[in-house]
Amino acid sequence: MSTYLIRQMPRLSVVFTTLAGADVDPDNVSCTVRHPNGKKVVYTYGTDMELIKDDIGRYHIDLLLDSAKLWYIFWEASGTYFGAGDHSLEVRSSPALD
């Protein structure tokens, strides 16, 4: 788990590879973000401009962390190549803001 301060905008990235380690482009790539208030937003490559392709198999999203507590991120690929991964972010407020 990574820790950030509220109002930071980290770049969250993912790399999709074959078992041999070669970067590959899945047919579909999405990133689901669950905000601490429970709201889920799904970003889909090719539909949502927030989800950016950097290179073959490499994607990122810049996420404004506008609320303290835990955020959950789920990456998913489907089609010819498929896979999934998740991680969480702990976001804390600054004592200067309290």
Digit-coded pLDDT (tens) for 47-65: 999 999 999 999 999 999 9
Distance CA 13, CA 51 (A): 10
Q: Is 97 among the domain residues?
A: no
For the chain, which residues score pLDDT lower than 70?
none
Q: Is 61 among the domain residues?
A: yes
Q: Is 98 among the domain residues?
A: no
Which residues are paired to 60 by β-bridges? 13, 52
Q: What is the CATH number of the domain that holds 62?
A: 2.60.40.10
> How many residues in total does the chain contain?
98
What tokens were used for 26? Answer: 């899945």
- Which pTM value belongs to this model? 0.91
Q: Is 22 among the domain residues?
A: yes
Q: Is 35 among the domain residues?
A: yes
Strands in 69-78's sheet, in edge-to-edge order, are: 2-5, 83-92, 69-78, 28-34, 40-44
Domain of 43, in residue numbers = 2-92
